[in-house]
Amino acid sequence: MLTATDLVWRAGPAGSRPYVGRPFVGRPFVGRPIVGRPIVNQVSLQVARGETLGIVGPNGCGKSTLLRLLYRVLTPTQGQVHLHGQDIWRLDARQFARQVAVMGQSPPALEGRVHDAVMMGRYPHQSRWSHDSARDRAIVHDCLQQVSANHLANATLASLSGGERQRVLLARALAQEPELLFLDEPTNHLDIRYQLELMALITRLQRTVVVVLHDLNLAAAHCDRIALLQGGRIAAIGPPAEVFTPAHIGRVFGVRAQVETDAQGKLRISYAL
């Protein structure tokens, strides 16, 4: 359903404006950067319907940049992204937002109440002058329930802890009822219980998910396939057991890794310097 072909994204020269577009609005940049090192370099991948693809790799290897290219915030210097065979930049913004939701890494300062923030997820489904319907309110209630945050509905966003905010942002993404969900380090700030709960929820959703994760064991347990990135390129892609080998982990992260399979057939990865 999602296909990226030969994606390249180069940062502009030092001091130039970052080449960042707006989510869901605007047109592709005309003046594209032609200098600077490639941050994402010749990346091609496909994500099938219902699949969870994990993107892992060391700090600064281009994971978030790749995700931004896939969810139409950055325009590629070269290459294309297609959703159901259509170039994502040719889709109408509202049409794109009905299909794709994003839980990003560092959301802008949030104001207002939790309930209203989650209701924003319904905007792509509403006409410009329509009010929130009973169905919209039911969906918001249900999404907050899914992330165990209904008790926060009337709280102000400014009063939330980092972990509570993450859960509310996920609820907002779910309220969009997307078929494709992009998550950039969704377990940031979450305690271990909520990390497991959130990953279990993502699995239960049975949506198509592309998720950036740092925890290799979480990625192994919850992703159908893994794309291991190094220096903006895909170093390995495939099922967790094929990608998370001591050789791959050692080469990409510079650590000694041990990979075992437990009695339930789950991978257990441990590492040391």
Ligand X SMILES: Nc1ncnc2c1ncn2[C@@H]1O[C@H](COP(=O)(O)OP(=O)(O)OP(=O)(O)O)[C@@H](O)[C@H]1O
Strand, coil or helix: what is 65? helix
Q: Which residues bind ligand X (CB under 6 A)?
A: 11, 18, 20, 39, 57, 59-65
Q: Considering the complex, state which of residue 18 and residue 85 has its C-beta at the smaller distance from ligand X.
A: 18
Q: Considering the complex, state which of residue 62 and residue 124 has its C-beta at the smaller distance from ligand X.
A: 62
Strand, coil or helix: what is 1? coil
Give least dist CB 57 to ligand X, A.
Answer: 6
CA distance 215 to 146: 23
Record the tokens describing residue 182, joined without a space: 């992009």
Taking CB positions, which residue lies at the least distance from ligand X?
Answer: 18
Give least dist CB 137 to ligand X, A.
Answer: 35
Give least dist CB 204 to ligand X, A.
Answer: 26
**Helix or strand (DSSP H, E) at 80:** strand 78-83
Q: Considering the complex, state which of residue 17 and residue 128 has its C-beta at the smaller distance from ligand X.
A: 17
Q: Considering the complex, state which of residue 126 and residue 230 has its C-beta at the smaller distance from ligand X.
A: 230
Q: Considering the complex, state which of residue 67 and residue 139 has its C-beta at the smaller distance from ligand X.
A: 67
Residue corresponding to tokens 């497991």: 196
Q: How many CA atoms lie within 13 A of 34 on its CB side?
A: 2
Give least dist CB 242 to ligand X, A.
Answer: 21
Record the tokens describing residue 70, joined without a space: 């896939």
**Helix or strand (DSSP H, E) at 119:** helix 114-119
Give least dist CB 19 to ligand X, A.
Answer: 6
Q: How far is CA 29 from CA 22, 60, 75, 82, 145, in A?
A: 11, 24, 7, 17, 39
